[in-house]
Chain A
Amino acid sequence: GQSLEQPSEVTAVEGAIVQINCTYQTSGFYGLSWYQQHDGGAPTFLSYNALDGLEETGRFSSFLSRSDSYGYLLLQELQMKDSASYFCAVVMDSSYKLIFGSGTRLLVRP
């Protein structure tokens, strides 16, 4: 079976930095994506890593280590609007099929 593990909840204060980890075991792997979802809303794309290393996009960065089957999402300068659920997702193959992790609820406090 497919398995992606993330912490269930993380709490941080406004302005801080938070890291959300993801470990995976899947039968296929093209890359690791991260999506944000606010309650009742649609998931929105944040980042994608196909190769090892760090990808930076504004306040968000994502890291991948294929040898460790591990990645993380780093959120800097946290804002209240960053309170949401964050999902890592493995791109399984050339069909762009995604398998989602269990999700991490991030609560940003003033």
Chain B
Amino acid sequence: GAVVSQHPSRVICKSGTSVKIECRSLDFQATTMFWYRQFPKQSLMLMATSNEGSKATYEQGVEKDKFLINHASLTLSTLTVTSAHPEDSSFYICSATLGVAWDNEQFFGPGTRLTVL
């Protein structure tokens, strides 16, 4: 099946630093990837849609200058949390689609738990 990986799985950083999270589709090419954040016991909130070779589309209320997304290839998208602060601590999850599936299934990565001290 389609596998999506994320790296790192867990990161702890100091306030004011930047953190990069990678999302890779391992066995398929993903023209579209999505980034979500999830607070404990809450739902997944879509942050942005990432298309290979073009600028990401951010959801309302998501600061594009704070959450930089790059989708440089068909198998890799990165999310950089710039100047992270404690309120950015969350579970960040990416997903990817095959692009042609009738059921529009999204394949999710295992997530990255970010803790900002």
Contacts and interface: CB of A to CB of B under 8 A. Distances in A.
Interface of A: 30-31, 33, 40-45, 47-48, 50, 87, 91, 95-103, 105
B100 to A, nearest CB: 10
A42 B93 contact: yes
A64 to B, nearest CB: 13
Interface in B2-40: 32, 34, 36
A75 B60 CA distance: 34
A96 B106 contact: yes
Nearest to A31: B104
A2 to B, nearest CB: 10
A87 B43 contact: yes
B104 A33 contact: yes
Q: Report the interface size class on chain B.
A: 20 to 34
B54 interface: no
B49 A43 contact: no
B111 A42 contact: yes
A78 B54 CA distance: 45
Given A42-B109, A45-B105, A48-B105, A96 B97 contact: yes
Nearest to A48: B103
A98 B95 CA distance: 10
B34 A97 contact: yes
B111 A45 contact: no
A95 B49 contact: yes
Contacts of B111: 40-42
B43 A91 contact: no
Nearest to B105: A45
A20 to B, nearest CB: 14
A45 B42 contact: no
Nearest to A55: B103
Given A42-B93, A48-B103, A95-B32, A100 B43 contact: yes
B77 to A, nearest CB: 14
